[in-house]
Structure 1
Amino acid sequence: MFEQLTQLIQQSGLQSVINNPEVPNEHNDAVIAEAQNSILSTFSQLNANGETQQVNEALESADHPVTQNIQQNFAGNIMEKFGINSATATSIAATLIPTVLNAIKGGGGASGASGGFNIQDILSSLGGNSGFGSGNIQSSINNIGGKLGLDKDGDGDVDLNDITKMFR
């Protein structure tokens, strides 16, 4: 499921990230991974707090406060981590995040439907009530980060040491 989400974000980010001259090519995969992390970490926190209705509402509206929060966090993170200017980061976030959330919603409830996303499956895979630091989300981040080449120190996880090595 997380691989499907990564593919969805990559497809959605083709124009706003990958074909964007303001985003250095060496950061394309990391920006895509950051979008996924921003979405999943917000959904995970809401789920852990029992606020699954907020997740459903965020999927319904690009103007929902949760959606706006994801966009702001994502834009701030890519500005800080990759040196992308504020206007570009805000534009990428305003385009990419609502597109991805709409596509997740469009997958509906049936796993075989277009895109194959079931929000309940996503929420349950985020670790239920075990909270954001749970093994499920960390395992997923490590798995996806490793596939994207973000495990720079080769220790099998994606953490602060990997980020440090990216900038040496």
Structure 2
Amino acid sequence: MNQTASNSSAFARDEEGNYQASRPVSADDVLELARNILAERVHRGTVISSPREAEQYISLRLAPREHEMFAILWLDNRHGVIAFEELFTGTIDGCSVHAREVVKRALANNAAACILAHNHPSGNPEPSAADQTITRRIKEALGLVDVRVLDHLIAAGGGVSSMAELGMV
């Protein structure tokens, strides 16, 4: 059996590609495996074809974090993934986000569009006034270099809030 790329050695793949537990597993082991599988599926060139795909990916990547993390899923003009970058790390209740740095990363990635994302360690996925303000500032800044902001997803607990679905993007 081949070991997965996971930090945990709880799972291995058999010859048919199925996962087998190599020891008793915890819920954290299962979530780590799920994150790894999703990361394999959402790689450079993968087209994000629905809001749900983006929400699942963001939820698995950011929801379990104990501190706020602001990340961006950079996309090409057909919504193919260029990169997923964790740009800013904060505290348990906030994160400083700098529009200038976001624009620099957009240009470095040659992105045509993006999905902003961050987590709320509190467990409440509802956008705050600060979330709305930074979304507006980043959207304006990226608009100057022709990069579209498709959504701002907030992962918390078991849910994800889409600011686009709420009419805030």
TM-score exceeds 0.5:
no
User: Greater Rg, structure 1 or structure 2?
Assistant: 2
Length-normalised TM-score, structure 2: 0.28
Q: Which has the higher helix share?
A: 1
Length-normalised TM-score, structure 1: 0.28
